[in-house]
Homo-oligomer: A and B are copies of this chain.
């Protein structure tokens, strides 16, 4: 029974750490709180992860590895730009509605520590824009979409999809929405945002 227990304790810690770190950030999180949420002794955190920093990094890598595949939807498949945009917008928004703290957590910690991003890039599987750029340029040459810089387009796509989660309190405040109508608002964006982008880049 050792293996089972070991796995569950280690995983319990990671789950608890995810909750606490994602809602309070690295500095705001307390090791004692993580232990309490996990329902175990604080010393166990150090037994399995050595230090707060390493536990944090485990959580962060985990979070980022959830995000990267989402980006590959748009960057590395072979469909048309329009299809890429529609499927990414739909999938990404669906995914984020299930993990609402994720974008903020990642952005916040990347801003806090520039080195993090460098270490991430060294890891294999860090999203790469080349294929997307080539496809955009090809479709422009074919006259399928209006001329636009691929990088600008990509940032626009990210912006429109991520911002409603990053800026949730702002969005709620500006539009006077409660939690339920906020969710409906975001739900509508699954198609609204794709239409908005495609409207802009498609010749008519």
Q: Which residues from chain A sit less than 8 Å from chain B, CB to CB? A: 24-28, 104, 106-108, 110-112, 114, 116-117, 120-121, 126-127, 129, 146, 148-149, 151-152, 154-156, 158-160, 162-164, 166-175, 185, 188-189, 192-193, 196-197, 199-201, 204
Contact = CB atoms under 8 A, between A and B. Distances in A.
A170 B200 contact: no
Contact of A121 (B112, B149, B173): B173
A169 B114 contact: yes
B175 A167 contact: no
Contacts of A155: 163-164, 171, 174-175
Contacts of A170: 106-107, 110, 117, 158
A150 B166 CA distance: 20
A117 B172 CA distance: 9
B158 A167 contact: yes
Q: How many copies does the complex hold?
A: 2
Contacts of A159: 159-160, 162-164, 167
Given A25-B112, A126-B173, A158-B170, 14 more contacts: A25-B27, A25-B28, A25-B108, A111-B169, A117-B172, A121-B173, A127-B174, A154-B175, A155-B175, A156-B160, A159-B164, A160-B160, A166-B166, A196-B200
Contacts of A111: 104, 168-169
Nearest to A167: B107
A93 to B, nearest CB: 13
Nearest to A199: B200
Given A27-B24, A173-B117, A158 B168 contact: no
A204 to B, nearest CB: 5
A123 to B, nearest CB: 12
Nearest to A132: B174
Contacts of A197: 200
